[in-house]
Amino acid sequence: MARLFCNLHPIVLASASPRRQQFLRELGLDFTVRAAAIDETPMPSERPEDFALRMAEAKARAVAPGHGRAFIIGADTVVSLDELILGKPRDDQDALDMLTRLQGRTHRVITGLALSCTEQGVHTSTATVTSVQFATFAPEVLAAYVRTGEPMDKAGAYGIQGRGGFLVRKIEGSCSNVIGLPVNTLVSLLLRYRAIAPARGAATAPA
């Protein structure tokens, strides 16, 4: 399959998320993974957008040393209901409690995205918000989903790109943002700062 984009600079993803890695691979980009080890505890009364941005920026800063020419991508996704941050569930009961709270309601998925390149003097960050409305299902349906194990490594205890997609009635905004990376925003930033370019040989739009 022909590549969509090619690298003009090295790219480092400051995240071990397999979903974010898959997005970059689908774009045709070469990258290395350097998962950042940082404290991911929200501050008292910290707004979800502020927390997501702070985490994304901290991840990018943590892996920047030794990668001066590279563009570092830091990202952090949170689920927010009534301005409260719903992180990854601690156990099955916690996952079931989260899903029960989300039933029949609209919550927000916020991804903080940071892009940094020391050599180019690039340090920018932004937050993308998607509204997600859940349908309502019987408790035994939610319990069956929890037993699949899918909720355990996901903020808000569900994965829209996996089996958990059946929970979602409607979204407003970027779907990729809900999965963990606002691809439109990322590609726009990488093109703006000339970190990537369209791959050679790609088809051109008609005049």
Residue whose C-alpha is closest to residue 168's, from 148, 145, 185: 145
For residue 194, the SS3 value is coil
Cα-Cα-Cα-Cα dihedral sign, residues 182, 184, 190, 196: positive
State the catalytic residue, choosing from 76, 82, 94, 97.
76
Alpha-carbon separation of residue 29 from 138, 162, 202 (angstroms)? 42, 24, 14
Active site residue 76: yes
Distance CA 141, CA 54 (A): 36
Known catalytic residues are 76
